[in-house]
Chains A and B, each alone.
Chain A
């Protein structure tokens, strides 16, 4: 076998903390990055716009929800609301601040911070309220944010249709378009931006998980009273989790609007999306960053692949409503089956598979 986990001797503390301790893993990661950065942008515009970029955006939101729900144990149904804050603040930052001072990546960063602050406000009740009762706070966030942007037309620049297209010049940041001679509004450029943001934030999340802060999050999740006895400030930890999580969701919302659909539309941030992202998290596996990405890919692609298979086999013998209903049924059954078979989601499945391969061909 090429892939060996043995013979990896750690000689100093820095090496002990590496994310990828194996040489083989490092090679894979570098190859993967090369593919992501060099090959994927050259694929068709359709692949990028219909599959890759939306998955990047919702996947990032899933990672964000994972920090709150998976790591800290605070159930949230307000993900779409926080994404909405991110999308609208990115748009408004780009619109209101002169071009010389603002560029898309910076606007994304700030809108993440805005969303994080909104998250902290709605996270405040978490200090008192626990468990399912906390749903009311995140649902309040979801509905309030939606209503807020719906009621105050200023945020949409008084666009009466409720949808505002993003002007092309907003994509052109740091003069990169002229410098490299590429179309910054085109999907390859949007993809590279989304990918870079997602990789950076995923790396950060992965490290957060292994840090003192991440361990605090987990101890609050496992037993908050025990955590407070250990000297961890539970309110502070919970609010920090809300901030970080909503920061991710805000950036994801910005990416979703700017890199994927190319307009700011309130309708896509309804409560359904919160549920979709919660599905991605559960199917991927709570508390696992790579699981979040797997879950996002699966949940996003499932209806597309299902419809495609249905169309290919039956050649459009059924109308779209029937296909959608059957897709819902199969999806519902699949989720229940997965939860029964493996409540830990894809991450747990992957761990089991890995362990089995490690033992192979001996079962024990």
Chain B
């Protein structure tokens, strides 16, 4: 086995794992705070990045567009809480899940109705003068002679953005008052309400934050793929990630993303021949998650289920 090649595969897997994690974090935030399995995450990605791209195409500069898109996502998140989640509070979890699928359908129509359904490319290097956005990859052999692999610079940029996002989130959760109430709500709704934490405000904050995360994730995905309908499928890629990591854990989302990313790449290389066909990455992540969950039904970092009658 050529192990330099193996390292390249591993690095590539880790990088694509970061992309999955970015989508997964949004999921976990909402699930943790309200127990809702938010299927609209993919369309939020689409809506956010489409809004951004259309604005830059119309000549608005990068930072203004970013700011306005973030503002729209915040408003959207608050509106979702007010008009979808609040009236459905205390409903069956399945009903809430379906409501988010309804929300996804609405958003899919809405974003393509307001903007358009074309495929847009996004090249952030046009707006930002950062060396890491240069399309040319890094030749690792220039730095370490024996390591003859390529790393796309953008992947490093994406990982840095993801890393700083996680640091910001961790700070937000651990150090601010809103973060404290968020953690309280995710521990126990009733107890949080009893000590006077406004549940609805907390939910609105969570949806708004998730909207902003969707914008960040959407832009990174868009740079790698493109802004189009296919962004919605990012949500299907993130599902095994959060299930492996545990639905309630942000570190779980990150580790899960990396595990799935690496596993997928390794599977593609070493198992594709066994199954005699291409495209096993379509289902391989789900099988990994499945096997993992059979041994640990609550995921890697998920809360242990204690069941009573």
A interface, CB within 8 angstroms of B: 69, 75, 125, 128-133, 135-137, 139-140, 143-144, 146-147, 150-152, 223, 225-226, 229, 271, 275, 278-279, 282, 286, 321-322, 324-336, 339-340, 343
Contacts and interface: CB of A to CB of B under 8 A. Distances in A.
Interface stretch (B93-101, B167-175, B192-200): B93-101
Interface string B275-287: 1111110110011
A86 B3 CA distance: 44
A128 B297 contact: yes
B30 to A, nearest CB: 12
Contacts of B87: 340
Contacts, number: 144
B103 interface: yes
Given A140-B290, A328-B108, A336-B103, A286 B94 contact: yes
Chain B interface helix/strand/loop/mixed: helix
Interface stretch (B70-78, B122-130, B236-244): B236-244
A87 B48 CA distance: 39
B113 A326 contact: yes
B256 to A, nearest CB: 11
B103 A332 contact: yes
Interface-central residue, B104, B293, B308, by most chain A CB under 10 Å: B293
Interface of B: 37, 83-84, 87-88, 91-95, 97-99, 101-110, 112-113, 117, 236, 239-240, 243, 247, 275-280, 282-283, 286-287, 289-290, 293-294, 297-299, 305, 307-309
Contacts of B95: 282, 339, 343
7 contacts: A128-B293, A144-B283, A329-B113, A332-B102, A332-B105, A335-B101, A335-B102
Contact of B280 (A147, A152, A225, A326): A147
Contact of A125 (B99, B102, B293): B293
Contact of B94 (A75, A328, A331, A340): A75
Contacts of A144: 283, 286-287
A336 B102 contact: yes
Contacts of B287: 140, 144
A340 B297 contact: no
Contacts of B278: 151
